[in-house]
Amino acid sequence: MKRKIIYLTALFALCMILSSCGLVKITSVNSSDLSPQPSAIPTPEIKQDRYTVSFDKDEIFLDEIYRRAAEHIDPYIEQAVKLMNSVREDRISFKVIDYDYSKRPKARDTIKNNLSLKVYDEMVEKAYSFEDYCFDSNSFSDDLFNIAVTANDAVRLDYPYLLLYCDMKISGNKYHSSYYLPGDWINKSCSDKELIKSQVRLYDCIVERILNKMPENLTNQEKIRYFVFVISAAVSYDTEYETYGNNYQAYDALVNGKALCEGYSLAFYYLCQQSGISCWYCLGEAPYELGYHAWNMVETEEGPIYIDITWYDTEDLGENYRNGKTTYLFMSQEDYDYYGYIEKSKR
């Protein structure tokens, strides 16, 4: 210790001599300046997520059904938004056409028989009001079978939403409404209208929640990607075919989380319809598919873009997108023809 003090004293004296000769300039320093100083490290730039969604843990819901809807779908919405932020920008860019679905040609316009038109209008009015309708052979002078079936086929095409809970049933010489729980079908009639309404509302609330929690200022192409990711997160393919034959499988997809290709496609179609995006629900044949297959077509300024969510929905959804493997998601007409899709009908 003494040796260290002697060394520092000699060093100070030397500095004073050199300073007097003008060789060293001594300036006063603060004690804080003598402490070790870390080297300058640049502050990393924090990357902000492009897409955001927020959930209020103290949110007050309108009613219990809406709370159930949010509890069910919110995790999938959050997962979809995270995926949107993690994947690269779309390699294919297109401008999706806005659309007013009220202007789309209706099957009703092709009906020539006035009695079928009358039956059609009553079916739609009664079904939307959850009221019963019934037509019997005594009420019509013409062939009731052709009149009623023609009207019902047109209603099914123009208002697929009604198939969520209502369809026409034939009993002897009577053609009447048959109400059933969403996710069931015509052979499982249900007389509890209030229970049916509550389950229909659950489906409607889930759709509403998906739309309300959609990130702001999305282009139509980004909305499509958001819908695809929500559906893919929320739905698993029904490998046991438990939902086969159900009239409206979009309910199975969004509420029960299990559906066939019809459920994937109808759910996507309905979300696009509610957002004013020009979309078609397509039925036909696809390569390696036994029987009918369902997919969607979206109209863009550059031409049609085809979307097959069923085939795109894999366990490696995010990884596939990150690697640019968007096969079956944004198919051009050339891709679509190359894979061998054959369209039988669309609506």
The per-residue b/e assignment along 134-145, b for 16 or more CB within 10 angstroms, e otherwise, is ebeeeebeeebe
Report helix, strand or coil for 12.
helix
136, 144 in Cβ contact below 8 A? yes
Looking at the predicted structure, is the pLDDT value of residue 86 above 60?
yes
Is 70 exceeded by the pLDDT of residue 94?
A: yes
Question: What is the structure's pLDDT at 254?
Answer: 96
How remote is the C-alpha of 327 from its chain's centroid? 18
Please state the separation of Cα 89 from the chain's center in Å. Answer: 18
Q: 4-18 pLDDT, tens per residue? A: 444 445 444 545 544
Domain with CATH 3.10.620 in the chain: 64-101+204-346
What distance, in Å, lies between the first and last C-alpha atoms of the chain?
94
Cα(333)–Cα(342) distance, rounded to whole angstroms?
12
Please tell me the pTM assigned to this model. Answer: 0.81
Q: What integer is the mean pLDDT of 109-133?
A: 96
What string of DSSP letters covers 45-80? PPPPPSS-----TTPPPSSHHHHHHHHHHHHHHHHH
How far is the C-alpha of 224 from the C-alpha of 80, rounded, in Å?
12
**Percentage of the chain with pLDDT > 90?**
52
pLDDT for res 31: 45
Tens digit of each residue's pLDDT (9 = 90 or more) over 161-203: 999 999 999 988 899 999 999 988 777 899 999 999 999 999 9
pLDDT for 140? 74
The class level of CATH for 64-101+204-346 reads: alpha beta
Q: Among 1-10, 51-60, 109-118, which range has the highest average pLDDT?
A: 109-118
- Predicted pLDDT at 8: 45
